[in-house]
Amino acid sequence: MGPSATVNTEQPQVSAQPLIIGRNEHGISRKQFSPNAIKVLYRLKDGGFDAYLVGGCIRDILLGQQPKDFDVVTNATPEQVKKLFRNCRLIGRRFRLAHIVFGREIIEVATMRGHHEAPVDKNQTSQSSGEGQLLRDNVFGNIEEDAERRDFSINALYYSINDFSIHDYANGLAAIKAKQIELIGDPQTRYREDPVRMLRAVRFATKLDMSIAPDTEKPLTELASLLDNIPSARLYEETLKLFLNGKAEANFLMLRKYGLFNALFPALDGILEQNPDGFEHAFIKQMFRNTDERINAEKKVTPAFVFAALLWFPLLKITKQLQQQEQLSEYDAFQQGMNKVLSESAQHVAVPKRFTLGARDIWHIQHRLDKRAGQRAYRLTQQPRFKAAYDFLLLRVEAGEQEHTELVQWWTEYLAKDINGQKELVKALGSQGAPKGRRRTRRRSPKPAE
């Protein structure tokens, strides 16, 4: 990784003279980069612009990990980038970006960011909220200014296509060696500029097996409420990164530690606060542990299952309240409760409809799993979400709902048998698996008049 660097105990600042690690010192080969990213770098260079690979891809390679994304930074404006690439589309309002599309791979190209106090032309815009949050960030600058605008020191590493050297502007190599996540600049200011950095600090700490530096950690609990100002659609994207990256359980525990989980799922957080060591906490931990195991085994995980679990206890709480306050049946209260819990949750994390529909199906089937007589068991297994609903019941028992143990065992045996074995299991149930309280009365024809 090049020459060793001493750890800076103060909050890192950007140096105008970066530490430059030559090609022979850092050990990174261009073969470790996406060929499409290299193409982008060279075309920008041939177009007369400066271009660097930056951030996570450099950090991950230095840590011996395989990067998922390759981001490029340049002094070309988004419009100039678009002129160089026919396969380019410009996106973003808060900060304008260029996406260079190569089939399924997208290379993200950002223009070097500048300081908001600097004079800007009519094409550059900057806007902040009263809390200091950046609402518009289209102010361009040079590489030193761009490094100052990066969030963490480990992300202020630039790979130059000119001489294949790494430029370290904020002691990022030292932070990697010390295994610390540290913000560049004043933490209070940087978190207020973009509160999502608090979630990113947690995610990087668990992903990279690092600790959060004391100065970076200190304001987290105090400023957690700033996440309420972030659009719910953006928090949904961050939630996926936190809970579908193979480190969900660790992220959940750390988010709870700093009071950040409340900004994402306040209804569940309130329930967990009332009973920190209860069944609900065990259920959520077990769900995340199972999710991590599946992802790390390269098995599929649907967000519908994760959100069904995260909103399950708020749903049960609302259902009970509706039964008591509105004098509704359990079924009607459950139906209204689903609408209400999803509507309230969407104010914080905007889950797309395709996943909320999946969560609804998983919840619905929970109430039908004990109705197994006749053709009901077979018809239930034909439901698209049956397997997820079965796994959900399994999770409930695994976390401590022992009253459903026999039901889980029955369904496990049923799914393992052939059609004849399944019929025998259903036959053995007798009237046990029939719906309760739903007797159908045959409508009688009126008697003829005498």
| Residues with active-site annotation | 69, 71, 151
Query: Rounded to an integer, what distance in angstroms lies between the CA atom of residue 311 and that of residue 295?
Result: 21
> Helices marked H in 259-373 — which ranges?
261-264, 266-274, 279-296, 303-310, 312-326, 330-346, 353-366
Query: Rounded to an integer, what distance in angstroms lies between the CA atom of residue 308 and that of residue 303?
Result: 8
Q: Are 5 and 19 in contact (CB under 8 A)?
A: yes
Query: Rounded to an integer, what distance in angstroms lies between the CA atom of residue 120 and that of residue 150?
Result: 20
> Helices marked H in 90-223 — which ranges?
143-149, 172-178, 187-193, 196-207, 214-217, 220-223
What are the φ/ψ torsions at residue 14 (nearest 5 degrees)?
A: -85, 135
Helix axes 386-399, 279-296, angle to 10 degrees: 130
C-alpha separations of 161 from 74, 156, 168, 236 in Å: 11, 16, 15, 35
C-alpha separations of 82 from 68, 88, 102, 106, 110 in Å: 24, 6, 14, 14, 12
Query: Rounded to an integer, what distance in angstroms lies between the CA atom of residue 81 and that of residue 325?
Result: 60
* Cβ density class 8-44: b for 16+ within 10 Å, e for less: beebbebeeebbebeeeebebeeeebbebbbebbeeb
Query: Rounded to an integer, what distance in angstroms lies between the CA atom of residue 132 and that of residue 194?
Result: 8
Which of helix, strand or coil describes residue 177?
helix
What tokens does 198 get?
Answer: 């608090």
Query: Rounded to an integer, what distance in angstroms lies between the CA atom of residue 364 and that of residue 348?
Result: 24
What tokens does 47 get?
Answer: 């177009």
Angle at CA 170, nearest 5°, toward 166 and 171? 75
What tokens does 192 get?
Answer: 């207020």
